[in-house]
Amino acid sequence: MMVVKRDKRREEFQREKLFASLAKACAKRPLPVGTIEKTLDDIEVTLSELGRAEVAARVIGELVMDKLRDLDRVAYIRFASVYRDFSDIESFRQEIDALLDSGEQDNGVHPGQMRRAEDDAPTVVKRRRRPGRRASKRPQVNRA
């Protein structure tokens, strides 16, 4: 399949190039192993279902953004910042605001993300002493 760039150039679709873009966007994010490959496979299936010999780069970019929006919001913003080529901080902010206003609750764990070890750590509850009782600094001696 051929990819039609914004400047009307055409080049062969390169899975490795798209993988590199996804990997950069998802770098250091808590995603399960194989998530990038599965996302890439899903995008390729969608592209092949279009049944076209040529696909606009814009179509591929939007597919990637749709997948990343559902996968990981930080990865989505990373990719969007390069793909949309924000001209100023205000346009970047508008994209973040739109993401936050999308109606989804951000509980820190998104579909496809792994839980962090800290999330599974037991909660330590400190016990409070009863009022009026003081701990003795001397060791108790059992006098029988």
Q: How many residues does the chain have?
A: 144
What's the predicted TM-score (pTM) here? Answer: 0.62
Q: The dihedral of CA 6, 10, 13, 17: what is its sign?
A: negative
pLDDT digits (tens, 9 = 90+) for 47-61: 999 999 999 999 999
Q: Which residue has the tokens 């792994």?
A: 114
Q: Is the per-residue pLDDT at 44 higher than 90?
A: yes
**Closest C-alpha among 67, 29, 28 to residue 45:** 67
pLDDT of residue 85: 72
Contact partners, residue 26, CB within 8 Å, separation at least 6: 35, 36, 68, 71, 72, 75
pLDDT digits (tens, 9 = 90+) for 79-123: 888 877 777 778 778 878 887 887 554 444 444 444 444 455 555
Q: Is the per-residue pLDDT at 1 higher than 80?
A: yes
pLDDT of residue 117: 46
**Closest C-alpha among 75, 42, 77, 73 to residue 60:** 42
pLDDT of residue 139: 59
Helix (H, G, I), strand (E, B) or coil at 56: strand
Work out the angle at residue 26's Cα, subtended by the Cα atoms of residues 90 and 106, and round it to the nearest 5 degrees.
65
Which residues face 80 on adjacent strands? Answer: none
Q: Is the per-residue pLDDT at 31 higher than 50?
A: yes
Work out the angle at residue 11's Cα, subtended by the Cα atoms of residues 7 and 15, and round it to the nearest 5 degrees.
120
pLDDT of residue 91: 76
